Structure 1
Amino acid sequence: MNALHLPPTSTAETVAAAVRDHGYAIVDDLVSNELLDRIAREMAPYIENSMYGTDDFSGKLTRRTGALIARSPAARELVMNPLALGTVENVLSHATTFQLHLTQIISVSPGSPPQELHKDELAWDFFPFPLNYDVQCNILWALSDYTEEMGATRVVPGSHRSDRKDYTQADTIAAAMRRGSALFYSGKIYHGAGANTSDRLRQAINVTYAVGWLRQEENQYLTTPFEIARTLPDELLKVMGYQLGCFAMGYVGDAEDPLTVLRPDQPRSVMNTAIMAKQAAHNDAAANFMSQGWD
């Protein structure tokens, strides 16, 4: 079976539908080499100083380098990519808001064996989220070419719709793609890094988003110092989590919008009217979901 590829002209609705139907989709040639070159230059010293994993799951020949918002101005463009945000908003439309869950460059060295297959939403203490409720929409941006020999991520198509857990490498396909392409995938799909049998470093930029009411894997408020955060545009700050996760989750002080911590000159609103309006629009959908049960 060949992996599902979509053109860069695809709409967010098309990509989101593929993620819902298949658990993943590859969008070819979505960003330029120039943008990736800037990210690579900005992150190079941090990657060089990153530690290799200490166990088989994290990869003893794999480096994971985070804090991209603070360390790489170019990476902020990737986080705010319009197709990425549009797809995430569509996939997670059942929630009032979504937020940045983590940013990370994953560097898989030659000789690295295949990673254990897993689904990313297990990060929340292995809580068994319902199959019909997505809490994540993930993207792996190919910072290098992403060939099967180099250890391209392997996915199990359709596994996001099943409670099965005993998948093997024989169930997977390689999400091979060119540099600048992006693998969109559900937090429910089983996947893992492939074996790097080449003599080249395989690199991907992992940018993951989650519904706004869950705790983030990468603590964006501590990872990005206040002196940097204050210089960022409001829309990026909101994606980072400087907004209410729903009508009452994540307020500061006297029930105030968290953005007022960085923008003290803003009106100290007790309620975010935009969030409240969206929450109200979700009431009927939430009631319908709950009436169907959690099984």
Structure 2
Amino acid sequence: MSRDAAIDDLVAAFRQDGYVIIDKLVSNELMDRIQQELDPHLESAPFGHLPEMGFNTQRLGSLIERSPGVRELILQETYLATIRQLFSHAEQFQLSLTEVNSIAPGAEAQFLHQDEMLFDRFPFPLDYDVFINSLWALTDFTEEMGATRVVPGSHAAGPNATFTQTDSLPVEMARGSVMIFSGKIYHGGGFNQSDRIRRAIDIAFSVGWVRQVENQYLSCSPETTRALPRELIKLMGYESTGGYGMVGNRENAMKMVEIE
């Protein structure tokens, strides 16, 4: 969908298909900057050691610490407004993961899975999103390059459904675009048959009452955290809401990172 689309329309597309793509939401210049910020770290990033992680796939986390440009992605107005509305059922939502997925030539297709299976495969209600993920295209996404594959509408299928690669479609999108998708939708990385690396910035959110995939309190140093925009610090999970996350005498944990 167009980057000028109304938030309500983006949310409606997500509800119908289990995902929505926003075309070229940010500039190539921002993506260039992010790539430059992350290149030194990617040189030593490990490849997967399990089949489900991809033996030809590098993963690099702690992106808030490492990339000011990624912070801009998280706070991008249209993107964050869409995420916020998708979590309107929850008293609090939080940042769960920031990670580069770098799929090298020859990487095989990942098995189709639901992200919500992370939480002990608990059968959450189909109309309640616990986990919402997103992939920002740091490079173009083409089928040949191993674009992520999704099974449209499978967010309504439940945790025990079975799909094959032929049921899925490649998510092709231009650099600077973003796909926002439900933790319930069946998806997986594609087979990279090209001679180019396919890279994405994976940013995921969850409701506030489940464990974050990436420990945001340790992934970003206190010195860096204190200098971040207040809204981003709250998203990282420092905001105490709904009776959880408090410190001391039932005080808001935000006070621990605020500069006097």
Aligned to 1:247: 242
Alignment of 1:123-272 (within 5 A): 123-163=118-158, 164-244=160-240, 246-263=241-258, 265=260
Stretch of structure 1 that moved more, 118-127 or 34-43: 118-127
After TM superposition, give the deviation of residue 146 of structure 1 in Å.
Answer: 0.4
* Distance apart, 1:11 and its partner CA: 2.0
Match in the other structure for 2:80: 85
TM-score, normalization: structure 1?
Answer: 0.86
SS of residue matched to 1:49 = coil
What stretches of structure 1 of length at least 5 have no aligned partner? 1-5, 266-295
Q: What CA deviation, in whole Å up to 9, does each residue of 1:126-149 have, x standing for no partner? A: 211111111122110000010000
Q: How far apart, in 1, do the equivalents of 2:259 and 2:82 lie?
A: 32
Q: What SS does structure 1 have at the residue aligned with 2:43?
A: helix
Shift of 1:51: 0.4
Identity in percent: 48
Determine the structure 1 residue equivalent to 2:59: 64
Confirm or deny: 8 A CA contact 1:155 1:175 kept in the other structure: yes
Q: 1:218-276: CA deviations, max 9, x gaps?
A: 000000010111111211100111102x41111111111110111264xxxxxxxxxxx
Q: Per chain length, whose mean CA-contact separation is higher, i.e. which structure has more relative contact order (CA < 8 Å, sep 6+)?
A: 2
Q: Are the aligned partners of 2:226 and 2:259 in contact in 1 as well (CA < 8 Å)? A: no
Contact 1:137 1:187 in 2 (8 A): yes
Distance in structure 2 (CA, Å) of the matches to 1:66 and 1:254: 33
Distance 2:8 2:247 in 1: 34
Can you list the C-alpha shifts for 1:64-98, whole angstroms capped at 9, x where unaligned? Answer: 00101000011100011111111111111000111
Instruction: Could you tell me which runs of 5 or more consecutive residues in structure 2 were left unpaired when the two chains were aligned.
Output: none
TM-score normalised by structure 2 residue count: 0.97
Alpha-carbon distance between aligned partners in 2 of 1:18 and 1:160, rounded to the nearest angstrom: 13
Runs of 4+ in 1 over 2 A off after TM superposition: none
* Partner Cα distance (2:140, 2:182) in 1: 22
